[in-house]
């Protein structure tokens, strides 16, 4: 008998509730549609449906686990970019304030020409 609760520890399960049920239902639908269609397209549908069924039965998705592991790095990079953007805006405002009222005459004050 297949026991979907002992297939993986709860720490390994990253697909729960409605998402898990949707994987099972969608996978079954894709497999049946692929078997009816036949040919290469049908074979691809059966394969994708099988992957969705496996995701639903085991409660684990390797792709989702990868994204969850890398989400923290993504958020760190995003905050670094946002901080750099605000520093760039501050530098731009400082440069504009420093050059306000200054005109360029084309004369070099060091050489006198």
> How far is residue 53's CA from residue 21's CA, in Å, rounded to a whole number?
10
Compute CA distances 92 → 50, 81, 88, 89, 100, whole Å: 55, 16, 6, 5, 12
pLDDT tens, 36-95?
Answer: 998 999 999 999 999 999 999 999 998 888 888 888 888 999 999 999 999 999 999 998
Phi–psi pair at 111, nearest 5 degrees: -95, -15
| pTM (2 d.p.) | 0.54
Q: Is the Cβ–Cβ distance between 49 and 71 less than 8 Å?
A: no
């Amino acid at each position: 008998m297949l026991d979907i609760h002992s297939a993986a520890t709860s720490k390994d399960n990253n697909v729960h509730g409605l998402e898990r049920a949707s994987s099972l239902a969608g996978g079954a639908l894709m497999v049946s549609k692929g078997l009816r269609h036949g040919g290469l397209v049908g074979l691809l549908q059966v394969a994708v449906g099988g992957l969705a069924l496996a995701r639903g039965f085991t409660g684990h998705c390797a792709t989702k686990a990868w994204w969850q592991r890398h989400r923290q790095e993504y958020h760190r990079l995003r905050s670094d970019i946002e901080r750099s953007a605000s520093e760039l805006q501050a530098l731009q405002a400082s440069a504009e304030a420093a050059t306000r009222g200054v005109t360029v005459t084309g004369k070099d004050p060091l050489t006198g020409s």
